[in-house]
């Protein structure tokens, strides 16, 4: 009797396993939608003034190139997300719109100063459209992910080269600040080249090291008058700059 019960249990268990397998097979996911648009390229660049930011926001343009590979029943929109160091800072940014009567392949991105500095990139590039039944479809185009652009702190400088009549003595002074992600200008400790224009070419007089207050002072002598400027080399997070003094000294 016990043997018969064991055999019966085995049959039931086998039936349960077989039924479970049928249930899994019937729940196979639907095939992903095939986009009618192939995104071939995305470029993000400043709308004006280079990559330096000196305010709470800065405008960037998103130039998109794409080709239509299938009929679009109504319209299609290309969206991107924006990331910095792996953290998403903006989502669902419209990069392009393709319609039967109107197409715009340029999108606009408002960069927030609080996002920080350095390289940014776009990812999760996707096309959204309504099919013939007006059901929204979405397809991700991973082939154009990672397109990078930069945001850098802008600079503010005040400086001059003083001279005295009848003397060859000259004194160069400079104070340098950069616009931080907290919305304020802060002192910038870095190196600055003092240059003068001689025979039509700018030549370095001295490389100055700014202190923690962003200041440097340099005394030198020159019997002739020249035009002077201060040159700041840019970094991955801070823009460079050239600041020419007024007149000759």
**What is the domain partition of the chain in residue ranges?**
37-152, 155-248
The pLDDT value recorded for residue 21 is 35
Residue 101 confidence (pLDDT): 83
Model confidence, pTM: 0.81
Spatial neighbors of 211 by CB under 8 A, at least 6 apart, are: 189
Closest C-alpha to 70, from 98, 42, 104, 43: 98
139-192 residue pLDDT tens: 998 888 788 999 999 999 999 999 999 999 999 999 999 999 999 999 999 999
Q: 37-152 has which fold?
A: Immunoglobulin-like (2.60.40)
User: What CA–CA distances, in Å, run from 143 to 40, 41, 95, 121, 244?
Assistant: 8, 9, 16, 14, 45
pLDDT of residue 23: 37
The pLDDT of residue 13: 35
Position 32 scores a pLDDT of 66
The low-confidence residues of the chain, meaning pLDDT below 50, are 1-28
- CATH of 155-248, picked from 3.40.920.10, 1.20.1260.10, 2.40.30.10, 2.60.40.1840, is 2.60.40.1840
pLDDT for residue 146? 80
């Amino acid at each position: 009797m016990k043997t018969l019960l064991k055999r019966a249990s085995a049959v039931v268990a086998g039936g349960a396993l077989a039924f479970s397998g049928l249930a899994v097979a019937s729940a196979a996911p639907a095939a992903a939608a095939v986009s009618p648009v192939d995104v071939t390229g995305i470029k993000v660049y400043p709308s004006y003034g280079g990559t330096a930011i000196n305010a709470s926001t800065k405008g960037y343009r998103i130039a998109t190139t794409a080709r239509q590979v299938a009929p679009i029943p109504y319209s299609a929109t290309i969206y991107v997300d924006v990331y910095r160091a792996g953290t998403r800072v903006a989502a669902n940014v419209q990069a392009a719109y393709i319609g039967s009567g109107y197409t715009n392949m340029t999108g606009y991105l408002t960069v927030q100063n609080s996002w920080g500095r350095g390289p940014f990139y776009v990812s999760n590039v996707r096309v959204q459209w309504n099919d013939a039944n007006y059901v929204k479809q979405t397809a991700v185009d991973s082939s154009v992910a990672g397109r990078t652009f930069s945001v850098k702190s802008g600079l503010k400088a005040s400086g001059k080269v003083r001279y005295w009549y009848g003397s060859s003595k000259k004194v160069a002074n400079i104070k340098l600040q950069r616009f931080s992600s907290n919305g304020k200008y802060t002192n910038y400790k870095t190196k600055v080249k003092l240059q003068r224009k001689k025979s039509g070419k700018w030549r370095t007089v001295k490389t100055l090291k700014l202190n923690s207050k962003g200041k440097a002072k340099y005394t030198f002598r020159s019997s002739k008058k020249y035009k002077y400027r201060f040159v700041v080399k840019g970094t991955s997070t801070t823009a460079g700059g050239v600041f020419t003094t007024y007149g000759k000294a």
